Structure 1
Amino acid sequence: MKDIRTAVVVGNPKPESRTLAATIHLTRELTGADPGLVVDLATVGPALLDWSSPEVAGLVAGVGDADLVVVGSPTYKGAYTGLLKLFLDRFAARTGLSGIAVPLMLGGSPAHALAPELTLRPLLTEIGGTVPGRGLFVLDSRYDDPSAYDDWLHDTAPAVRALLEATQGALA
């Protein structure tokens, strides 16, 4: 797929985390390419608290314009991180995201498997993202195991790819 603008946003407070690796892997599986924009929020730091930060405004604009954004977070207390919340609060309701959004969360126990559906998916749809299929939950211990993504990819990737191809057709 060419001309598809992709982004990943990672709310892990640790830079270059397993969550980052998982979001990049998932983007590659969905599109066959690395994401065009990588937002590792741990590296943005205090600028997230400055609503006048041009750096954060630029990241918000880039993510908002992406055709596909994979949003990843570790599961903390059954929800996404406060760091991710700080960033996503910058997006306008219903119009902040213009493309497909994929919620991805990592966690230490299958007991948190519903977290992407119950916490992250509603937020992504509220800010305008189209979320095809269900959110993806991956055990931390399996983040680097490609088979941990297989069922979700089998069920949801065709819908994501169809929407991306439709986007390409609209751009042509």
Structure 2
Amino acid sequence: MARVAVVVGNPKPASRTRAAAEHLARELTGEAPELVVDLAELGGRLLDWSDAEVPALVEQVAAADLVVVASPTYKATYTGLLKLFLDRFAPARGTGLTGVAVPLMLGGGPEHSLAPELTLRPVLSEIGAPLTTAGLYVLDSHHDDPTAYEAWLGRVRPLLTPLLTTGVPA
């Protein structure tokens, strides 16, 4: 059974971004994610390097076989809240991602549809993910519409299913 984590960079707790990320994780694995890190619930603690919970969450996310990393699109990129969390990952110090990373971003219109590919996917690779899927951009107004995910899932699911069953190569 794959260990699945979701990281949500929306500054609003229990957001549509979180719902979309959890939906995507379930669609990819058939099960609810084992760990959901809603960064809005951590708030300013992300800036406190003495806080014990944040590094523990980083370690749990780093060890996941599949990580859905989700953010609303702000100024054509992911949120500062998500950046604060991702800055905690350091592959050279043993806290890099070790599983498949899935970049997911929600936005108000199609003009930012490349944001997951151009901004989020590269940083996920940089922090150690041995495999980062193509990014998925979903219109915020369609976050709860399963058809908004179908084409992407049709392309990615056949590639991920064998990896999640047999293990991600390091």
TM-score class normalised by the smaller sequence: over 0.9
1:45 to 35, 43, 46: 43
Indicate if the aligned counterparts of 2:63 and 2:98 stay in contact, CA closer than 8 A: yes
Indicate if the aligned counterparts of 1:98 and 1:129 stay in contact, CA closer than 8 A: yes
Match of 1:24 in 2: 22
Structure 1 gap segments, 5+ residues each = none
| TM-score, reference length from structure 1 | 0.93
Match of 2:69 in 1: 71
State the shift of 1:150 in Å. Answer: 0.2
State the shift of 1:46 in Å. Answer: 1.3
Indicate if the aligned counterparts of 1:27 and 1:70 stay in contact, CA closer than 8 A: yes
Match of 1:164 in 2: 164
Indicate if the aligned counterparts of 2:101 and 2:133 stay in contact, CA closer than 8 A: no
Q: For 1:46-99, what per-residue CA distance to the aligned partner results, in whole angstroms no more than 9, with x for missing partners?
A: 110011211101110110000000000000000000000000000014751010
- State the 4+ residue runs in structure 1 displaced beyond 2 angstroms: 130-133
Cα distance in 2, alignment partners of residues 111 and 162 from structure 1 = 34
Cα distance in 2, alignment partners of residues 137 and 46 from structure 1 = 27
Match of 1:117 in 2: 117
Cα distance in 2, alignment partners of residues 142 and 131 from structure 1 = 27
Structure 2 gap segments, 5+ residues each = none
| TM-score, reference length from structure 2 | 0.94
Equivalent residues, number:
167
Match of 1:11 in 2: 9
- Aligned pair 1:147/2:136, yes or no? no
Q: For 1:96-147, what per-residue CA distance to the aligned partner results, in whole angstroms no more than 9, with x for missing partners?
A: 1010000000000011100000000000000011334410000000000000
- Aligned pair 1:104/2:77, yes or no? no
Is 23-32 or 155-164 further displaced after alignment?
Answer: 155-164
Aligned partner of 2:67: which letter? Answer: V
Indicate if the aligned counterparts of 1:132 and 1:156 stay in contact, CA closer than 8 A: no
Is 25-34 or 158-167 further displaced after alignment?
Answer: 158-167
Cα distance in 2, alignment partners of residues 160 and 115 from structure 1 = 22
**CA RMSD between the two structures:** 1.4
Indicate if the aligned counterparts of 1:67 and 1:100 stay in contact, CA closer than 8 A: yes
Is 129-138 or 99-108 further displaced after alignment?
Answer: 129-138
Indicate if the aligned counterparts of 2:103 and 2:135 stay in contact, CA closer than 8 A: yes
Cα distance in 2, alignment partners of residues 130 and 156 from structure 1 = 16
- Aligned pair 1:36/2:24, yes or no? no
Residue identity (%): 63
The SS at the match of 1:149 is helix
State the shift of 1:157 in Å. Answer: 1.2
